[in-house]
Amino acid sequence: MKKIIIILLTGLFILPAMAQDEEIIKDPKAQEKIKAARIAYITERLGLTPEEAEKFWPVYREFSVKRQELKQQYNTKLKNPDPTKTVEQNETETIEYGLQLRQKELDLEKEYSGKLLKVVPAQKVMELRRVEEDFRNLLIKQIQQRQVQQQQRQLQRDRNDQRFRQRNN
């Protein structure tokens, strides 16, 4: 199992560096790799048995989809301010809307915590949030490392091009 996780996490190193957050990554192949790595990581870190995993993942996926929908609603609101209102009015409205969505997300978490408690022990449900955050941080760190590596390669290419031009002059 650890070998599978290592392989999946290593696969994340070859992800195209498109963003600092997994929600912004547009490449479907990259998203699939992230999903697979998330499943392996959470399963391993929570210590889910095969029986628990079989019951856990459908509930968790449903929860994740609904939580993502709330985030998308907020992002849509942010990107589409009302042109008939002032900037201040739009910002105030966006803050209020964001708070409403955070309350909905909390309500959603309460609902799905209850559902998850029916399929896995309370200790694993309690650990889930921390494991999700750990995975997210790991993913962001790897994407940032990838971006730094790409910048270093580009810098090296630029230096090589400059040396080549100097030799030819």
Reported as a single tens digit per residue, the pLDDT across 97-121 is 999 999 999 999 999 999 999 999 9
Amino acid letter for position 39: I
0.95 exceeded by pTM:
no
Give the tens place of pLDDT for each residue, 11-20.
443 333 333 3
pLDDT of residue 5: 45
Distance CA 149, CA 146 (A): 5
Helices (H), 47-121: 50-79, 87-117
What rounded mean pLDDT belongs to the chain? 86
Residue carrying the six token digits 């589409």: 80
pLDDT of residue 24: 53
Give the tens place of pLDDT for each residue, 114-143.
999 999 999 999 999 999 999 999 999 998
Q: Given CA atoms 142, 41, 35, 67 in this order, what sign does their dihedral have?
A: negative
3-class DSSP assignment, residue 122: helix
pLDDT of residue 8: 42
Nearest to 104 by CA among 72, 59, 58, 57: 72
Map out the domains of the chain as residue ranges.
1-48+126-169
- Band of residue 4 on the pLDDT scale cut at 50, 70, 90: very low
- Band of residue 92 on the pLDDT scale cut at 50, 70, 90: very high
Nearest to 143 by CA among 24, 35, 7: 24
Distance CA 151, CA 106 (A): 39
